[in-house]
Amino acid sequence: MSRLPFYLLVGFLLITGIALSVHRHVAFEVPWTPGEQRQVWEVEAQVNFSALGDPVMVNLALPSTQQGYRVLTENTASSGYGLAFLEDQGSRQAQWSIRDAIGPQQLYYSVQLLVTPQAVDREAKPPPLPREIAWERPFDTAASQVIERAQQRSADAVTFARELIRDFTGDRQGENSRLLLTQFERTPLLVRLLNEAGVRAREVSGLALDDGRRRQSLQSWLQVYSDDGSAVLFNPVTGEQGKPDNLLLWEDRGGAVLEVQGGTNSRVSFSMIQHNQPASTAVRNQLADDTLINFSIHSLPLEEQALFQTILLIPIGALVVVFLRVLVGLKTSGTFMPVLIALALIQTTLLTGLIGFLLVVTVGLIIRSYLSHLNLLLVARVSAVIITVIAIISVFSVMSYRFGLNAGLTITFFPMIILAWTIERMSILWEEEGPKEVLIQGGGSLLTAVLAYLAMNNPWVRHITFNFLGVQLILMALILLLGNYTGYRLLELKRFKPVTED
């Protein structure tokens, strides 16, 4: 019979599992190792104004995910105000409203931003060119001469914008530039001149991030669109091209940052602080919205997440059991009983769990030997063993508590039904094969359980299995490959020792 379908299935599971894991790491920035730290900026905007006693409506532009920064969480504080988040053609705003307010008012908005090179700018359409730009005399002549001079030293829209800005800075500032600056603000003036020359541009507002700064204000920046439609950022004061690493574009659609209806003397100031936090926490919010590709446990409530964090470790234990039984040839009492014991050891710690397990099984075997003389039916005998195990665990828990050994209380985490069946199987094995076989299988079970515990309790393994569900497919493929092995086991090779001696 052809094994091709089997190997195709294994290959499909491996490739799919690896692809899902890599995609999750690259697209959603889930780290491969636990404990990784990510840089996070927390920025707070404080809006102050004086209400006139009329209905008040306040619109504040909000930042969005952009190159270098991803929005994690947003919070507001506005006692008595209604709040809504609005989005129109890519522009985000927070809108506060109240029926009646008078006197000084304060509104707060805070945002957490993850510093990440994977974040990209939102797609933005270039602003339309105005149909007509009216200049009063003599500013029309000055504007024409400034545009003509910059065009002579440029080759395209970007170089034209750079030369135009330089004509308004430093020693290159001529009479025409100084004349225009007496009538217009620098950045709106540059936008008008660029539009006059047929170059699409707009004024945007940016915030320079500096750790621990308070009461900072936004700065105006010039966004120019090249001939191919890409946006280039310019500093309108210095003429520097490109976006600085510490610049956060707070409003990038050319609209107003703050609009207040029903109030006067409005202003907005910013405070910021930088800190590091675990990468898993920093990216958790974007993992809550599951898709077919971004399928994760993070969308579940925290209680269910904690449950699945343990359940997803079971395939690791199963892989250890398959490896030890198929390749090494270790004998165990029950097929996957060691995995369940390993799960209990995670809850009880290794030393406490081993002592509790040995005590319960030893006492259970003594009581089971007495039950064997009663000639009970199987169902009744196993039921009696289950009750006995519960009684043993209860007695040991009470005794450990009375002696101040709180660690002994964790013995209740052991699966009682599995312990009962283990005692029953070992008792039957003792009667049929003798104590030697009981020690072999019991010792193999404990050794397997300890090795499975060490593998399942590893912080890196717990992190990988919980955050990358594609690993489950990889484990499935490895178990299928081990299940296809039909050669000698390592413990069977001792039979060939006489051949090597000869």
Contact of 18 with 485, CB cutoff 8 Å: no
Work out the mean pLDDT of the chain and round it to a whole number.
Answer: 83
Q: Which residues contact 481 (CB under 8 A, 6 or more apart)?
A: 10
Per-residue pLDDT at 179 exceeds 70: yes
pLDDT at position 292 is 45
Q: For 223-271, how does the pLDDT look when each residue is reduced to its tens digit (9 = 90+)?
A: 999 888 888 999 998 888 888 888 999 988 888 899 999 999 999 999 9
Contact of 248 with 43, CB cutoff 8 Å: yes
What's the Cα-to-Cα distance from 163 to each of 170, 173, 189, 387, 484, rounded to whole Å?
12, 11, 14, 89, 71
Q: Which residues contact 460 (CB under 8 A, 6 or more apart)?
A: 33, 34
69 closest CA partner among 47, 89, 42: 42
What share of the chain has pLDDT > 70, as a percent?
A: 90
Average pLDDT over residues 292-318: 72
**Tokens standing for residue 19:** 């692809």
* Amino acid code (one letter) for 16: T
316-325, 394-403, 470-479 — which is least confidently predicted?
Answer: 394-403
**β-sheet bridge partners, residue 41:** 113, 274
Position 290 confidence tier, pLDDT thresholds 50, 70, 90:
very low
Q: For 468-498, how does the pLDDT look when each residue is reduced to its tens digit (9 = 90+)?
A: 888 999 999 999 998 888 877 887 777 777 7
φ and ψ at residue 473, rounded to 5 degrees: -70, -40
Contact of 289 with 300, CB cutoff 8 Å: no
What is the C-alpha separation between 195 and 25, in angstroms, rounded?
43
166 closest CA partner among 257, 265, 241, 269: 241
3-state secondary structure of 92: strand
Q: For 192-235, how does the pLDDT look when each residue is reduced to its tens digit (9 = 90+)?
A: 999 988 899 999 999 999 888 888 999 999 999 988 888 899 99
pLDDT at position 293 is 45
120-134, 208-222, 273-287 — which is least confidently predicted?
Answer: 273-287
269 closest CA partner among 56, 115, 108, 113: 108
Per-residue pLDDT at 404 exceeds 70: no
pLDDT at position 282 is 62
Average pLDDT over residues 120-143: 82
What's the Cα-to-Cα distance from 199 to each of 128, 146, 158, 188, 497, rounded to whole Å?
10, 15, 9, 14, 86
67-71, 126-130, 317-321, 485-489 — which is least confidently predicted?
Answer: 485-489
Q: Which residues contact 163 (CB under 8 A, 6 or more apart)?
A: 150, 153, 154
Give the chain's count of helices (H) and strands (E).
17, 12
If you write DSSP's letter for every residue of 212-276 in order, what string do you get?
A: T--SB--EEEEEEE-TTS-EEEE-TTT--BS--TTEEEEE-SS--SEEEESEEEEEEEEEEEEEE
If you write DSSP's letter for every residue of 40-76 in order, what string do you get?
A: EEEEEEEEEEEEESS-EEEEEEE---BTTEEEEEEEE
Q: For 23-46, how does the pLDDT look when each residue is reduced to its tens digit (9 = 90+)?
A: 888 777 778 888 777 888 999 999
CA atoms within 13 A on the CB side of 105: 32
Contact of 93 with 144, CB cutoff 8 Å: no
Q: How buried is 101 (Cβ within 10 angstroms: 0-12 exposed, 13-18 middle, 19+ buried)?
A: buried
Q: Which residues contact 230 (CB under 8 A, 6 or more apart)?
A: none
User: Sign of dihedral through CA atoms 453, 457, 458, 464?
Assistant: positive
pLDDT at position 388 is 81
**Tokens standing for residue 37:** 């730290």
User: Based on C-alpha coordinates, what's the Rg of the chain?
Assistant: 36
**Overall pTM > 0.85:** no
The residue written with tokens 């970007």 in the block is 158
What is the C-alpha separation between 169 and 159, in angstroms, rounded?
16
What is the C-alpha separation between 409 and 397, in angstroms, rounded?
5
Q: Which residues contact 344 (CB under 8 A, 6 or more apart)?
A: 353, 357, 413, 414, 415
Average pLDDT over residues 441-456: 88
First and final C-alpha spacing in the chain: 40
